[in-house]
Amino acid sequence: MDRSGVLYESLVEDAFECIVTIRSDLTLAYANPSMAKLLGHAPEDTLGRPVADFVHPDDLDRALAELSGLESWGVANGTTSFRLRHGDGSWVPCDVTAAAVTDGEEDLIAVYCRPAGYQHAVDTVLTRLLSGGSRAETLAPLLDVFDWAVNDAHIGIAWHEEGRGHQSIATGLPPELTGGEADPGAPWADARVDFAGVHCPGPAALDPLRRATAEELGRGALWVEPITDEGSGIAALVTVWSRLDGPPPETHAFSMALAKTHIELVLRWTHQVARLDAAAHTDVLTGLPNRRSLFDLLDNDRRGGALLFCDLDHFKPVNDQHGHQVGDDVLREVADRLRACVRADDVVARTGGDEFVILAHGATTDQAAELGQRISTALREPFIVPGGTVDLGISIGIAGTDAPLSDTVLARADQAMLADKARRHRHRPRPTRN
């Protein structure tokens, strides 16, 4: 065989892509050695088998439709994607292109397949983002854009969440090798502070404990890149670890750029969604949960307890005599006093202009009554306003249940509050004439 023949053979036999040829009866006539490397099938075991054996059932109609049009329209240009069966039974997303070829006697279709890991990962990220997945669930597919398993690399993504602290996901790495800690050590701390990528040719720059962990895992050089996270104000981090004596992590530059863009997208999106959700469930004036938030809590309650429906007495004159700005200040002070009265697990919500509801999880009848008394006492204290003080009172209706709390229990508490307000009005001292 001359050199050109050797070259042509090598182009197929040594290609990274899995290359197969398909006969007109849609069976495989040839598969190159990459069939084993990428899809886990011995090439000789695939010959004569139908295409349908290798294509995901949900993709099969589309694949057959494209192949059935070969005689009329020829091979379609461009790239498409199918999920192909791996030898272990899993499904591998692959980018597929095709060409009409011949062996001199028979017309065949050559199909070129390469893993579409990065594209599949990005698609999964967007799907999870739109479906409201958590940050960890949404970011996890981005680990796969690095083809880490094929390259024996390890990847970590770290970020910070309010109320939860530092979080991280990784391919077999502990948090201390991803920057997923408050005090991550070098080089992760350097990347956060300087907001610049850090390249380490080996684990020697790490502290002894991290170095020992990295060496135990067979890790060599590492590359850390920071990512803006406006929501937390703390840079997220992507870490690529190569294997000992392996290629440098910088060979993953394309994957790093792709991952950084999508990580920032996920962080921004989830932060904005959280802000919008908080705004939709929070009373702007007092910062308390609003009516919508209260009903969401009732819909998900499983513990039972008591609801206290509270309505301020004599609040309208505050607005009439002192103005709405003073009235707003008084409502904020009312909210603070209510917060100070309730237990740690109770929820105070503002449901209307001067209406508040306390959700007391698991409260007994006596505990709810004691809470109501504390609230009444706290609200009897004068409120200091510009030019003097104002006095308010509060009417409270209490309804409890051992079953889950619901809007029915809330309606009972509302009726009890109205009865309490009516009783207070009947017993209110009449003004005397001079």
Same domain, 64 and 176: no
CA angle 39, 45, 46 (to 5 degrees): 65
Digit-by-digit pLDDT tens for the chain (434 residues) are: 678 778 888 988 988 899 999 998 999 999 999 999 889 999 999 999 999 999 999 999 988 887 775 555 566 667 888 999 999 999 988 889 888 888 888 888 899 998 887 778 888 999 999 999 999 999 999 998 888 877 889 999 999 998 899 999 999 999 999 999 999 999 999 999 999 999 999 888 899 999 999 999 999 999 999 999 999 999 999 999 999 888 899 999 999 999 999 999 999 999 999 888 888 999 999 999 999 999 999 998 888 999 999 999 989 999 888 999 999 999 999 999 999 999 999 999 999 999 999 999 999 999 999 999 999 999 999 999 998 899 999 999 999 999 999 999 999 999 999 999 888 776 555 443 33
Determine the residue type at 250.
Answer: E
Using the 3D structure, point to which of 81, 98, 115 is the last residue of a domain: 115
Same domain, 139 and 274: yes
Q: What is the pLDDT of residue 43?
A: 95
Are 361 and 345 a contacting pair, CB within 8 Å? Answer: yes
Supply the angle between the helices 291-299 and 407-426 in degrees, to the nearest 10.
130
The total number of structural domains that make up the chain: 3
Same domain, 239 and 297: no
Same domain, 234 and 139: yes
- Largest Cα–Cα distance in the chain? 126
CATH code where residue 410 lies: 3.30.70.270
Same domain, 235 and 222: yes
Instruction: Look at residue 432 and tell me if it is in a domain.
Output: no
Same domain, 14 and 92: yes
CATH code where residue 24 lies: 3.30.450.20
Q: What is the pLDDT of residue 434?
A: 35
Instruction: Look at residue 286 and tell me if it is in a domain.
Output: no
3-state SS, residue 195: coil
- Among 314, 304, 317, 356, smallest CA distance to 334 is for 356
Q: What is the pLDDT of residue 70?
A: 57
Determine the residue type at 367.
Answer: Q
3-state SS, residue 432: coil
The three state secondary structure string of 385-406 is ECCEEECCEEEEEEEEECCCCC
Same domain, 412 and 309: yes
Same domain, 145 and 212: yes
Distance CA 427, CA 14 (A): 96
Same domain, 396 and 304: yes
Distance CA 378, CA 371 (A): 11
Same domain, 233 and 297: no
Same domain, 208 and 325: no
Same domain, 254 and 304: no
Provide the β-strand partners of residue 398. Answer: 308
Instruction: Look at residue 125 and tell me if it is in a domain.
Output: yes
Q: What is the pLDDT of residue 156?
A: 97
CATH code where residue 170 lies: 3.30.450.40
Instruction: Look at residue 433 and tell me if it is in a domain.
Output: no
Q: What is the pLDDT of residue 277?
A: 87
Using the 3D structure, point to which of 115, 133, 151 is the last residue of a domain: 115
Instruction: Look at residue 160 and tell me if it is in a domain.
Output: yes
From its phi and psi, is residue 304 left (phi > 0), alpha (psi between -120 and 50) or beta?
A: left
* Residues contacting residue 414 through CB under 8 Å, at least 6 positions apart: 309, 397
3-state SS, residue 152: coil
- CB burial of 319-349 (b: ≥16 within 10 Å; e: otherwise) equals beebeeebbebbbebbbebbeebbeeebebb
Instruction: Look at residue 405 and tell me if it is in a domain.
Output: yes
3-state SS, residue 260: helix
Instruction: Look at residue 431 and tell me if it is in a domain.
Output: no
Range of the domain at 49: 3-115
What is the rounded end-to-end Cα distance, in angstroms, of the chain?
126
Using the 3D structure, point to which of 88, 115, 142 is the last residue of a domain: 115
